[in-house]
Amino acid sequence: MIRTEKLTFSIGQFRLDEVSIEMARNEYFVLLGPPGSGKSILLECLCGLRRPAAGRIFVDGRDITREEPRKRGIGYVPQDYALFPHLSVEDNIAFGLRSTQITRTAARGKARQTADMLGIAHLLGRNVAGLSGGEKQRAALARALVKKPKVLLLDEPVCALDEATRQSVCAMLRVLRQELDIAVMHVSHNLEEAFSVADHAAILNAGRIEQAGPLDSLLRKPANEFVARFMRSENILDAQAIGHIPDEHITCVRIGPVQFQIPGRHEGAVKVVIRPEDVIIEKADAPPLPNTFAVQLLASRDFGSFIRAQFTGPPDLVAHLPRTTLAAVAAGPIRARLLVENLCILE
């Protein structure tokens, strides 16, 4: 549906560096990245507000790199929604239709239809100034959707909303994508938000795509340390391969004084990524198992649905534990066990 080939753009010291991404029809794609990584600039290049220095953009196979924004068939909702303050909600929604050949009455009819779909028909006569954040968000969305774009670009669409509204808007966005059969690119720096909507995602860092693919693969198989840290894999440990088990495709590695057996064949210095939820904490007197070592609880913090606990080893670890687990093991000596099948190795 939309594809970029080595898209390059520079502004001041910042550079979007040969960004290549691809979104299929009816796909919900989340562009993740820390603030300042170039997510909004990439979106602006896609919808034609910035002219790339090199590279190409295709929509449905058509090269739109040099097309005017109005001819691209791309809907765009900026982070601040940018509703026109001198127009009513209805006129905002119908705005894009007025530059086509349809009559004012027909435009208003379509605006009402779109507003109805988004549950804001009762706001049509209102001024933009009096709307709440969620209402503005839906009005801006209706304005972008009324022209039936092939691709919808959303720049941090829910970052200004409260948690409850955010969840319901994310659910609505997925439904809309399905009903309208459009591709959606959603920019965010929030992982929970990404998981609630995305089919696929890409992580942008300092103008470069670090990794793209299904969110689960970004989580389980990060391509590098940046992606691992961005996906909140808090345990990234330096390890040294010390040998292989013949015929079993297993490598013995040493992390500090402790030896582990990890799947695959690796040589020399590697980094072992362990997600905090893949660390099992149990009593030290449990039956002996491979890949276990003694740890001590250093600190813990309650996040409501889980407890983030820091342990000293060596190696030092962070684990996300159910409340009951920590209470049960806190009394005596404890050990950590790693689920090696979930480990990820960065060469």
Partner 1 sequence: MGRVLTVELRQMCERPPKTCGPKDLANTPRRAPGDRLFLALCAAAVVLFVMFIVTLIVADALYVDARAVGEVLRSRPIRHALWMSVWTSCTTTVIALLFAVPMGYVLSRYRVFGRTFIDAVIDLPIVFPPLVAGLTLLVFFSQTAMGRWIQQDVGLEFVFQPKGIVLCQFLVAASYAIRSARTAFDDVDRRFEQVALTLGCTQWQSFHRITLPLAANGIVAGGILTWARAFGLFGPLMIFVGSFRGRTEVLSTTVFLEQSVGNLEVALAVALLMIFIALAAILAIRLIGGRGQFRL
Is 197 a binder of partner 1 (CB under 8 A)? no
Q: Minimum distance between the CB of residue 124 and partner 1, rounded to whole angstroms?
A: 12
Q: Which of 7, 107, 131, 187 binds partner 1 (CB under 8 A)?
A: 131
Pick from 346, 318, 343: which is nearest to 261 by CA?
343
- Give me 76's structure tokens: 């765009």
Is 45 a binder of partner 1 (CB under 8 A)? no
Sheet harboring 200-205: ordered strands across? Answer: 74-77, 151-155, 183-188, 28-32, 200-205, 208-214
Query: Distance between CA atoms of 163 and 77, rounded to whole angstroms?
Result: 20
Contact track, partner 1, 49-78, x by CB under 8 A:
x------------------xxx-x-xxx-x
Polymer length of the chain: 347
Phi, psi (degrees; rounded to nearest 5) at 258 = -100, 140
- Give CA 232 to chain center in angstroms: 12
Query: Distance between CA atoms of 17 and 14, rounded to whole angstroms?
Result: 9
Q: Minimum distance between the CB of residue 144 and partner 1, rounded to whole angstroms?
A: 8
Q: Which of 30, 31, 123, 145 binds partner 1 (CB under 8 A)?
A: 123
Is 122 a binder of partner 1 (CB under 8 A)? yes
Nearer to partner 1, 82 or 206 (CB): 82
- Stretch near partner 1 under the rule CB under 8 A, chosen from 20-28, 44-52, 264-272, 313-321: 44-52
Query: Distance between CA atoms of 160 and 193, rounded to whole angstroms?
Result: 13
Is 95 a binder of partner 1 (CB under 8 A)? yes
Is 28 a binder of partner 1 (CB under 8 A)? no
Buried b (16+ CB within 10 A) or exposed e, 56-77: ebebeeeebbeeeeeebbbbbb
- Give me 122's structure tokens: 């009762």
Query: Distance between CA atoms of 289 and 140, rounded to whole angstroms?
Result: 56
Burial class (CB in 10 A: 0-12, 13-18, 19+), 251: buried
Is 147 a binder of partner 1 (CB under 8 A)? yes
Nearer to partner 1, 146 or 237 (CB): 146
Is 48 a binder of partner 1 (CB under 8 A)? yes
Query: Distance between CA atoms of 186 and 182, rounded to whole angstroms?
Result: 13
Is 130 a binder of partner 1 (CB under 8 A)? yes
Q: Where are the alpha helices (DSSP H) in the chain?
A: 39-46, 89-98, 104-117, 133-145, 163-180, 191-197, 215-220, 225-230, 323-329
Query: Distance between CA atoms of 184 and 201, rounded to whole angstroms?
Result: 11
Q: Which of 24, 36, 63, 132 binds partner 1 (CB under 8 A)?
A: 132
Q: Minimum distance between the CB of residue 71 and partner 1, rounded to whole angstroms?
A: 9
- Stretch near partner 1 under the rule CB under 8 A, chosen from 24-32, 51-59, 113-121, 222-230: 113-121
Binding residues for partner 1, rule CB under 8 A, total 43
Q: Minimum distance between the CB of residue 79 and partner 1, rounded to whole angstroms?
A: 9
Is 33 a binder of partner 1 (CB under 8 A)? no
Query: Distance between CA atoms of 347 and 335, rounded to whole angstroms?
Result: 27
Nearer to partner 1, 114 or 205 (CB): 114
Is 185 a binder of partner 1 (CB under 8 A)? no
Q: Which of 106, 175, 245, 299 binds partner 1 (CB under 8 A)?
A: 175
- Stretch near partner 1 under the rule CB under 8 A, chosen from 16-24, 131-139, 191-199, 219-227: 131-139
Q: Catalog residues that contact partner 1 under the rule CB under 8 A.
A: 44, 47-49, 68-70, 72, 74-76, 78, 80, 82, 84-86, 95-96, 98-100, 116-120, 122-123, 130-132, 134-135, 138, 143-144, 147, 165, 168, 172, 175, 179
